[in-house]
Structure 1
Amino acid sequence: MRGNSNVAVLINGRQQTIGQSVLSTLPAASIERIEIISNPSSKYQSEGTGGIINIILKKNKKDNVSALASVKAGTARKYAANLNAFYSKGIYNFNLQLMYNNMGLLRNSYRNRYFYFPDSTVHFRDDYKNRRYKNFDNFIGAGSGINLKNFEVFANFRYGLFELNKVKTGFQTRSSDPESIYEDYWNQSTTKIHWNYFETEVTMKLKPNNQRHLVELLLYRSHEIGKDSYSIHSHPQNNPPGETGTDEKITTDQTGNYHIYQGLLDYTFNINKSNTIEAGASFKSVDRVNIFNKGLYNFERRAWEYNPALENKVDNTHTLFSGYFSFKGQAGRFSYQAGLRGEQEERGILISYGDSTINFSDFDWFPSASFSYELSQKLKLVSSFGKRKQVPKLWAVVPFTYVDDKNFSTSGNPLLRSEIAMKGEIGVEYESDRFSGSLSYFYNDFANSTMLVQATTSEFKSSGNWSNIRKHVKQGCEAGNKIMASKHITVSLNASVFSNHFASQFENKTFNNKAISWTSSLVFDFSFGKSARLQVYNVYESKYAMLQGYYTPLLLTNLSYSHSFLNKSIVV
């Protein structure tokens, strides 16, 4: 939404910590309406910076049994299928979800990378002609709950398996200054990720007889274990592969064990029909243990050889405490929301190789505000502003980006970074009997500090200096339109054009990169009665990098068919 993928999903106002995949498992017949909130209140962490999708389900006082099955296929070997079953009896309900998802991708790319160090500059130039992805995300989930007049409780459990296989083949040029080293390599990199995760979530709502008060409690726990492997096979272009001394095959393997705990206590007070106050507190604790090892491939033995002396264990703890307050309301044609969020972040990182320890604590305030004004019954002016701290992603790539025999960089490493994200937008929303849409300008600003890590044969220690600042500014225009062509056919057309500006500052050196991206999608929805639906999803996108003078086009088409094969109600 508006160039930001951090979208929070709610069902009947309940936050879904388990994730956005719930969107594909809900039967369309069970949805009453969908609310889009482009600028969330201060209640939400970084997962809400892109906006909120609130799905309101139909209320059914009957016992109900329903099931939905769907399949999907697309270009670049995309396949997906899911099954969602729901059963309710009186105040009790139960749901079961199964999903298989294999979303492949094939595209070309070209990249320039500069690494600045106190005594040298290292430059990599990559030209990959074939990048193939295989992305599996499969899970099974079950949930149950009780819905009383003044009290609700829901519990969900999910087991998932995430697999990613990625192969990139191309050429790489390596150069270093002042050594004046210049080499051309044929290069192939392979990424394999196999990750298991177990998630449990409990949400409770207390609604006193006085409907002006609402108390919500959320508890979440996740356990994730897995292994990642990143291997690079390269040799100089002027030497054939397989010759001793010219062929190089390196792998970095990682095993991980993560524990995540999250809690939220929220209180809402309705002052009157038009104004609401919301306040609460939350915490999130992440404990990760990663073990990394580097291996060289022995071509004579045709086997990987690992050096135990290079094994590196990284213990990372991350705790976030937060409190928030927000106020929203409406006065005539004017709607508004304003909030303030305070976050205390504690980070601790222990690197076994070299006995390096990194600890820091930080507190910051994050404001948010939005307003909308109805110019007419079918035309609305909207604007918003927000600031959040991005929670570091859990998918660690490698402990440090390998540059040469002496230097490593934490650039791009989620274990060692926290990112501040600011967003703003202004636009209009319009609708008619068969036509609805929006047009907006958005601005997203991301910034994070990274740390330089230097290594020798006997030491592996961080510099302790977070002076390398990486910034990413994304701004552009986005438009979306939806047309009811007939009773059974809906056409959606969305398009966006935005610029990307990347800047990295280290000491007195600055590296800038700019790119222009555009994307468009054309979606056709066909409904057949109340139980069947066919969707044709077409996407075209491209990026042009101004400094390198390249562009990467991508065109894909997906076909999705869903059918509700069991949907009956029994009168109590």
Structure 2
Amino acid sequence: MNRVKEAVLAILFMLFTLSTFAQTGSVKGKIIDAKTKKPLEFVNVSIRAIETQKPLTGTVSDSTGVFRINRVKNGTYILSASFIGYKSVEKEFTISPTARNVNVKNILLEEDNQVIDEIKVVGQRAQMRFEIDKKVFDVESNISQAGGSASELLENIPSIEVDNEGEISLRGNSSVTIWINGKASGLSADNQAQILEQIPAESIERIELITNPSAKFSPEGTSGIINIILKKNRKAGYYGSFQIGADILGGYNTSGSINYSSGKIESYLNIGYRQRKSGSKDYSDRINLDDQGNPVSYLNQNGRRDRKGGALFTGVGLTFHLTQTDHIGIEGFGHFGNRNSNNTIRYESDVPGSFSSSERISNSDNSSKGGNVNLDYKHEFSEKSNIIARASWDLWVSDGTSTYKQHSLYQQNKEISSWQKQESDNRSQSWEFQADYVNQFSEESKLETGYKGTLSRQKSPVETYSGETETTAVFDELLYNKYSYNRNIQALYVTFSTKVNSFGLQLGLRGEYTDTETKSLGYERTEATAHPYKDNYFSLFPSLFLSYSLPQNHEIQVNYTRRISRPRGWQLNPFMDMTDSLNISFGNPYLSPEYSNSFELNYIKTWEKHTLSVSTYYRNTDNVIQRIRYREGDVMKSTSANITQSSSAGAEIVAKNKLLKFLDFTTTLNFYYNELEGFSYLPADADAPVTGERDDNFSWTGKIIANAILPHAISLQATGSYNSKQIIAQGHREANYRLDLGARKFFFDRKINLSISVQDILNSRNWHSITSGNGFKQDSDSWRKGGVFRFTLSYNFGNMKASKQKQQRTSEGMNNIIEEF
């Protein structure tokens, strides 16, 4: 009898459940950028009852722009799609017994870049937006960097730091990959600082931060990828712009662009020239110690460097739409520049047998040229399946001549002079071949697979002439070096992503085979007699991404990737650079790559005027490459070595807040803990091993960007940043801070605008480090001149004017701003 009751109750329960689900349905659709026609990821989609206007539930779009909300009861609702930087869109739909599964199809979102004509209040495009695998920063509205360089622009992007030598780090880690337009484009760790200093900021459209890339992307760089996207707008018709600017140090810049697009052809041309002048100072105080750690002597130095140089940067692109499904494009950019640097160093010392004072004057002239050419072909099998084939070629050439003149005073008024000239000819070129296939089986599932081959070649011969004076200088056989570095990488990848209700999954695997060969030839050595160092290895890089959408616009993401950081070319070159006789540096051809396991947990919540992103991350790294220093007599030597393991954990908080109708803030806080294990390393020519104790510390950085839109077409911007104390190999770096300001005024229906900016207005950005090792303690500091004012005037032409209907609509939407004043 009990079993009969249980069976009846079970049947009644199933009938009740079925009747409940029979009264519910679902709504789905796809979010698309109205301008680019590309799907938008991570768009917030919510529904509310049309009668009560009460919010009910929501979700976010996936990597293909698709969204789906299940278990919606019968009734009529309003669906709302919102995304930072875009105008919100609403649609009405009804769930009924005859229409349980509603497809609203494509929802087009337009960028929220308003032009106010009547009241002269100008809106700015949102500077930051979140996508499922990256953060995107639109930099066209970055006022404080108008007239600057790409390197200076990166300094104002959250999570990125740039030191005084141009080295870039992401979340406190300098092992980061820099791309231009989604590929290496010839940039390497050896040349990127010089190139980024000469690319005009006006040529950049946006910057993407990919902190934990999936298996689809290159695993190079343990901290992630910084992707610089150059301008190549493709609106119908023609339009363009022209800019001129100057700064108080004597630098100036000019640039122009023009775009033309029709049904069959899309094209763009950008060209810019930038002349730059800058100054910097540095000092270093070194105390030499005996075996018991007691001071025995000192060597202090103070330096001043003045730099100037100019660079021409140009980009051009053509896209041909051959058919509805076949597209071919060719694009490229070129760079032509020169740079002169004058450096004066004054020494004081009481080292026995050494000079008591000395002055070293160096002058260097460098010219550089290079660029990238890219050819790609896209075939669309269907709306959900396509293949893209790409081939690109990069060439970078840097020629330089440096002279060094030193005059030293010894005891008993003994004087010694020396003169050196060093000539270098650095050349690097690479080829990339890539094919990517995408097949979206359904709105929830997608397969991506592809191949990428990279062939890189570098040569950097150096010749030196030495003597007491310029007239007596002769060829120096000991300072001759002919270095070559070849690296080939073959990679295959596959990723699969799917979504079931609110749960998303992406699995990926990438395999890379790398072969490298380095040669360092001294004087009278030939290719036949040289013994190259070769290193061939195969590596697998898995990735896993999980996401879950919660009600009320909450999203949680968890991901894991394996990363690699290969040694840089200069780190492998064993040639001893003795141009500074007291500071000798050389590379290590036996370096191995670093490998990292990276984990992230991300949470994002969006309100109408606020967005909050919280990311926690953990990364452990083996074979950490660090620069080490050790003393031999009066000489300080430095090289690179795989010395230890490291781990870091942190939390990054990014908030976008619109506090008033005319004021918004983008705030980034990054808290992280670093740990370096202890090490003991014996260089080949050292008498005693270089040791380091285990070291750890807690560091944090903060950056805030404030934008204000005022009446009379005026906008203001302030960017402040702070870096706390951080550990480095054999020591630490002290805290520093910086403040940049900018203002912009539009004239004549937004066709002309004037920007005024000042960088590092407090002149507070310096890099102060304290290090110690076997037989020494050293305190060093360097800083560039701050308080640099810039002025930039821009003129826009072509079909840029908004329609009267749009002007009227946006004017009505901004009337409330006037009331604030």
TM-score over 0.5 (shorter chain): yes
Residue of structure 2 equivalent to 1:287: 457
Q: What is the number of residues matched between the two proteins? A: 532
* Pair 1:73–1:110, CA change in 2 (3 A): farther
Aligned equivalent of 2:502, options 297, 321, 333: 333
The structure with more radius of gyration: 2
Alignment of 1:365-444 (within 5 A): 365-390=540-565, 393=568, 400-402=575-577, 410-411=586-587, 418-444=593-619
* Match in the other structure for 1:555: 738
Instruction: Determine the C-alpha separation between the residues in 2 that align with 1:229 and 1:444.
Output: 42
Letter in 1 for 2:427: N
Q: Which residue of 1 aligns with 2:212?
A: 39
For the structure 1 residues 169 and 326, does the alpha-carbon distance in structure 2 shift closer, same or farther, using more than 3 Å as the test? Answer: farther
Aligned-partner Cα distance in 2 for 1:382–1:113: 50
Q: Superposition pairs for residues 79-478 of structure 1, below 5 Å?
A: 82-100=255-273, 102=276, 104=278, 106=280, 108=282, 138-147=312-321, 148-163=323-338, 165=341, 167=343, 169=345, 193-208=366-381, 210-228=382-400, 244-245=415-416, 247-248=417-418, 252-296=422-466, 298-299=468-469, 301=470, 305-308=474-477, 310-353=479-522, 355-390=530-565, 393=568, 400-402=575-577, 410-411=586-587, 418-445=593-620, 447=623, 468-469=642-643, 473-478=647-652
TM-score by length of 1: 0.74
Residue type matched to 2:415 in 1? T
Q: Deviations over 1:383-423 (max 9, x none)?
A: 32222333555678976354799x98754x79976443443
Q: 2:119 maps to which residue?
A: none
1:442-497 Cα deviation digits (max 9, x unpaired) = 34455456999xxxxxxxxxxxxx98446565543322222234555432222324
The 3 A distance-change label for structure 1 pair 27 and 499 is: closer
TM-score (norm 2): 0.54
* Residues 15 and 414 of structure 1, relative CA distance in 2, 3 Å threshold: same
Write 1 or 2 for the structure with the bigger share of strand: 1
CA distance, structure 1, for counterparts of residue 284 and residue 542 of structure 2: 38
2: CA distance between counterparts of 1:449 and 1:337?
31
CA distance in 2, matches of 1:252, 1:326: 50
5+ residue gaps in structure 1? 29-33, 115-122, 453-465
Q: 1:408-439, CA deviations, whole angstroms, 9 ceiling, x for partnerless residues?
A: 8754x799764434433223222211122322
Aligned-residue sequence identity (percent) comes to: 16
CA offset at residue 149 of structure 1?
2.4
Of Structure 1 and Structure 2, the greater helix share is in 2
**Unpaired segments ≥5 residues, structure 2:** 1-158, 160-169, 188-195, 289-296, 629-639, 683-688, 744-754, 756-792, 802-821
Pair 312,108 (structure 1): closer, same or farther in 2 beyond 3 Å: closer
Q: 1:244 to 1:174 in 2, by over 3 A?
A: closer
User: Could you tell me which amino acid in structure 2 is paired with residue 85 of structure 1?
Assistant: I
Q: For structure 1, which segment, 195-204 or 94-103, has the greater mean C-alpha deviation from structure 2 after superposition?
A: 94-103
Q: 1:73 to 1:556 in 2, by over 3 A?
A: farther
- The answer on whether the counterparts of 2:204 and 2:231 sit within 8 Å (CA) in structure 1 is no
User: Do 1:76 and 1:556's aligned partners in 2 also have CA atoms closer than 8 Å?
Assistant: no
Shift of 1:43: 1.9
User: Equivalent residue for 1:457?
Assistant: none
Q: Of the candidates 189, 203, 208, which is equivalent to residue 25 of structure 1?
A: 203
The answer on whether the counterparts of 1:112 and 1:548 sit within 8 Å (CA) in structure 2 is: no
Correspondence 1:483 to 2:657: yes
SS in 2 for 1:41: coil
Deviation at 1:262, TM superposition (A): 0.6
Work out whether residues 293 and 311 of structure 1, in 8 Å CA contact, stay in contact via their aligned partners in 2: yes
Listed one character per residue, the Cα deviations across residues 287-328 of structure 1 (whole Å, up to 9, x for unaligned) are: 1222112343634x4786432564221222211111111122
Structure 1's 287 and 220: CA in aligned 2 closer, same or farther, altered over 3 A? same
Q: Is the 8 A contact 1:27 1:67 kept in 2?
A: no
Post-superposition CA distance 1:147-183 (Å, at most 9, x none)? 34212222112110355548474659899xxxx9998
Amino acid paired to 1:557: D
What's the counterpart of residue 63 of structure 1? 236
Cα distance in 1 for partners of 2:562, 2:603 equals 22
Confirm or deny that 1:519 pairs with 2:701: yes
1:484 and 1:417 map into 2 onto residues whose CA distance is: 48
Aligned-partner residue type, residue 25 of structure 1: S
Aligned to 1:568: 799
Q: Quick one: structure 1 residues 381 and 131, their matched pair in 2 at CA, closer, same or farther if it must change by over 3 Å?
A: farther
- Name whichever of 501-510 and 15-24 sits farther off: 15-24
Note closer, same or farther for the CA distance 1:308–1:381 as it changes in structure 2 (3 Å cut).
Answer: same
